[in-house]
Amino acid sequence: MLMLGRLIKRVFTDLGMLIYGDGCIICNESCDELHGLCLKCRFEMPTTRYCFLSDNPVKEHLLSLVPIVEASSYLHFRTDDRWRHMIHRLKYRGEWRLGVTFGEMYGADLKASGLYDDVDMVIPVPLHILKFLKRRYNQSEYIAEGIAKQLGVSLNRSILYRRKNNPSQTHQHATDRWANVDNIFGVLRPERLRDKHVLLVDDVLTTGATLASCIRAIYAVAPTCRVSVVTLAVAGNIKA
pLDDT higher than 70, residue 6:
no
Q: What was the pLDDT predicted at 163? A: 86
The neighbouring-strand residues paired with 230 are 72, 201
Say if strands 121-124 and 185-187 run parallel, antiparallel, or are unpaired.
unpaired
Q: What is the pLDDT of residue 20?
A: 37
CA proximity to 145, closest of 222, 199, 214, 215: 199
Backbone angles phi, psi at 108, to 5 degrees: -65, -40
Q: How confident is the model at residue 81 (pLDDT cuts 50, 70, 90)?
A: confident
pLDDT surpassing 90 at residue 194: yes
Residue 155 has pLDDT above 90, yes or no: yes
Q: Are 159 and 200 in contact (CB under 8 A)?
A: no
Residue 10 has pLDDT above 80, yes or no: no
Residue 238: the pLDDT is: 85
Handedness of CA 99, 152, 200, 7 (dihedral sign): positive
pLDDT beyond 90 at 198: yes
Residue 15 has pLDDT above 50, yes or no: no
Give the domains, in start order, of the chain with CATH numbers.
Answer: 1-44 (no CATH), 46-166+182-235 (3.40.50.2020)
Residue 184 half-sphere exposure toward CB, CA atoms < 13 A: 22
Q: Is a pLDDT exceeding 70 seen at residue 171?
A: no
What does the pLDDT read at residue 23? 87
Give the chain's mean pLDDT: 86
Give the pLDDT confidence of 179-190 residue by residue, as tens digits: 567 789 999 999
Question: Residue 153: left if φ>0, alpha if ψ -120 to 50, beta else—which one?
Answer: beta
Q: For the chain, how many residues are written?
A: 240
Q: Where are the beta strands (DSSP E) in the chain?
A: 71-77, 121-124, 154-155, 160-162, 185-187, 197-205, 226-235
Q: From residue 82, how far is each of 13, 44, 73, 221 by CA, in Å? A: 21, 11, 18, 41
Q: pLDDT tens digits, residue range 210-227?
A: 999 999 999 999 999 999
DSSP string, 134-183: HHSS-HHHHHHHHHHHHHT-EE-SSSEEESS-PPPSTT--HHHHHHHTTT
Reduced to 3 states (helix: H, G, I; strand: E, B; else coil), residue 234 is strand
- At residue 95, the 3 state secondary structure works out as coil
- Which pLDDT value is given to residue 203? 95
**Farthest CA pair distance, the chain:** 50
Q: What percent of the chain has pLDDT over 90?
A: 61
**Who contacts 62 (Cβ-Cβ below 8 Å, separation ≥6)?**
68, 71, 205, 208, 211, 212, 229
pLDDT at 12: 39
Task: Assess whether pLDDT exceeds 50 at residue 13.
Answer: no
Backbone angles phi, psi at 41, to 5 degrees: -70, -40
User: Over 50: is that where the pLDDT of 236 sits?
Assistant: yes
In angstroms, the CA 199 to CA 116 distance is 8
pLDDT of residue 35: 79
Could you give the CA distance from residue 162 to residue 47 in angstroms, rounded to a whole number? 30
Digit-coded pLDDT (tens) for 93-150: 889 999 999 999 999 999 999 999 999 999 999 998 888 778 888 999 999 999 999 9
